[in-house]
């Protein structure tokens, strides 16, 4: 088994090995089927490494130029669909190196000087994730913008507010939608914070202990736009905290998407009827012709489990690993790739759903907020304004609600005379205070649902998201 990878034969390893892998173990061991995703990042890192080797005098400039031109040729072949490594290449790193040797001959064997696959894969994965984070941020902003547009259109629409999924108090629909805009802003901040720790270069840490080759780690870090390098070579090759952190941030994003998805499902139910689903974002039943099913929010709600599961899988994979590199780390990629893909798909789907997949029904919403006891707290507030202690006012209103339920009435249906039987300070202006629109308008505490406060937040978010002239 002479030559190994540097000899360009089918064998991967050095001449220490006399036999090849069992075919089943070769398949089990190979990661080329999924880590080919990192091809562009592997090429980027290799180009930076080759140029650094020349700058440090490890290879001459002509050799570096040959290596870089060969790497760019592989990039072109991949773009043309003609670079298709197989399972005998084991992983993307060996696939690139073998093809480079085939293209440039013996000089290709110099590329791996001063590095290991251990720091190489860590570099590739960070470059890949950094790009995905940069692509994710505008998608989150687009979703925020879709929510904001709906909020602007419904700045005067009311919706029942719930606690424990029981009618609690009416709120402005725009206020409800802006709550999700706030959640998504925290998601953006988390991803931005994760990016800072992703953006650190392990390249040059080699297998685990550094290298005697006179390399310049800061040079490759700068060439790849990393903000710095790992200070400890053991930590550099064994750190997957960034993958866990990203998956945790993505899990929270999915939580927020799923919470809104659940509300849309509820709103679209016949029992609720607060929204209509468009044909663009709903499906029918194969048996029941009248059905229109909320597949988009249901799928988003279901796909949360994938992301949560990958987070748990990553934590479990890492928790018992000794320093430094272990083959267990091969399991990080498929998990991370799927976390990213699932998050991207769900964000896109929910954005389309909010933009064109549903329409609110103000008539149903108006009827809902006017047909319950969600204005009961406002009676207590009315009494408090007349010097009745809150807890006493609370008990009075409880008695009123109990009597209304017994008589099949709403608070608005009671006559002033009946109201005064509960407390003599009640006057005719109570009926204005009980009107749902006034109930909402009165909540002017900072962060509240009062229309004036909501207008302030609409203006603020319109400015942040570039809709200032809406």
Q: Is 299 exposed, middle or buried (0-12, 13-18, 19+ CB in 10 A)?
A: middle
What sign has the CA pseudo-torsion 217, 219, 220, 221?
A: positive
Exposed e or buried b per residue across 8-26, where buried means at least 16 C-beta atoms within 10 angstroms of its C-beta: beebbeeeeeeeebeeeee
Phi-psi region of 178 (alpha: psi -120 to 50; beta: other; left: phi over 0): alpha
Name which of 303, 42, 343 is nearest 190 in CA terms.
343
Q: How far apart are CA 174 and CA 176, in angstroms?
A: 5
**Which residue among the candidates 14, 69, 285, 359 is catalytic per the annotation?**
285
Contacts with 340 (C-beta within 8 Å, 6 or more apart), sequence order: 129, 132, 136, 246, 250
Q: How far apart are CA 432 and CA 157, in angstroms?
A: 18
Contact 8, 109 (CB under 8 A): no
Name which of 84, 87, 93, 91 is nearest 111 in CA terms.
93
Q: How far apart are CA 48 and CA 335, in angstroms?
A: 27
**Which residue among the candidates 164, 286, 406, 445 is catalytic per the annotation?**
164
Phi and psi dihedrals of 155, rounded to 5?
Answer: -70, -20
Q: Is position 258 annotated as part of the catalytic site? A: no
Q: Is position 285 annotated as part of the catalytic site? A: yes
Name which of 132, 101, 100, 123 is nearest 49 in CA terms.
123
- Would you name the residues annotated as active-site residues? 164, 285
């Amino acid at each position: 088994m002479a030559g190994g990878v540097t000899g360009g034969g089918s064998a991967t390893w050095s001449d220490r090995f006399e036999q090849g892998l069992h075919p089943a173990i070769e398949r089990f061991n190979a990661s080329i089927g999924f880590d080919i995703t990192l091809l562009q990042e592997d090429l980027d890192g290799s180009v930076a490494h080759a140029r650094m080797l020349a700058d440090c005098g490890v290879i001459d400039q002509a050799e570096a130029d040959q290596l870089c031109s060969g790497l760019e040729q592989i990039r072109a072949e991949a773009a043309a669909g003609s670079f298709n490594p197989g399972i005998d290449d084991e992983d993307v790193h060996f696939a690139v190196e073998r093809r480079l040797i085939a293209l440039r001959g013996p000089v290709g064997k110099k590329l791996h000087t001063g590095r290991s696959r251990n720091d190489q894969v860590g570099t590739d994965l960070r470059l890949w994730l950094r790009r995905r984070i940069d692509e994710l941020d505008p998608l989150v902003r687009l979703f925020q913008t879709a929510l904001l547009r709906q909020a602007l259109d419904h700045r005067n629409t009311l919706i029942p507010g719930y606690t424990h999924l029981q009618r609690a108090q009416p709120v402005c629909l725009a206020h409800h939608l802006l709550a999700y805009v706030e959640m998504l802003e925290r998601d953006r901040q988390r991803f931005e914070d994760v990016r800072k720790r992703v953006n650190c270069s392990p390249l040059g840490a080699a297998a685990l202990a550094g290298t005697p080759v006179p390399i310049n780690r800061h040079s490759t870090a700068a060439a790849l736009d990393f903000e710095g390098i790992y200070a400890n070579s053991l930590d550099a090759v064994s750190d997957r905290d960034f993958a866990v952190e990203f998956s945790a941030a993505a899990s929270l994003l999915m939580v927020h998407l799923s919470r809104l998805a659940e509300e849309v499902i509820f709103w679209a139910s016949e029992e609720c009827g607060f929204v209509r689903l468009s044909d663009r974002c709903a499906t029918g039943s194969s048996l029941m012709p009248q059905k229109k099913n909320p597949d988009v929010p249901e799928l988003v709600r279901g796909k949360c489990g994938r992301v949560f599961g990958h987070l748990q899988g990553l934590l479990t994979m890492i928790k018992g690993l000794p320093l430094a590199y272990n083959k267990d780390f091969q399991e990080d990629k498929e998990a991370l790739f799927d976390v990213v893909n699932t998050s991207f798909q769900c964000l896109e789907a929910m954005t389309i759903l909010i933009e064109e997949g549903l329409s609110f029904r103000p008539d149903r919403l108006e009827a809902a907020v006017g047909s319950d006891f969600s204005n009961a707290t406002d009676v207590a507030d009315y009494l408090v304004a007349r010097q009745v202690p809150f807890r006493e006012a609370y008990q009075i209103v409880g008695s009123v609600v109990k009597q209304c339920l017994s008589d099949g009435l709403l608070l608005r249906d009671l006559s002033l005379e009946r109201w005064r039987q509960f407390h003599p300070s009640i006057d005719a202006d109570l009926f204005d205070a009980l009107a749902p629109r006034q109930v909402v308008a009165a909540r002017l505490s900072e962060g509240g649902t009062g229309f004036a406060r909501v207008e302030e937040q609409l203006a603020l978010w319109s400015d942040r998201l570039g809709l200032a002239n809406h």
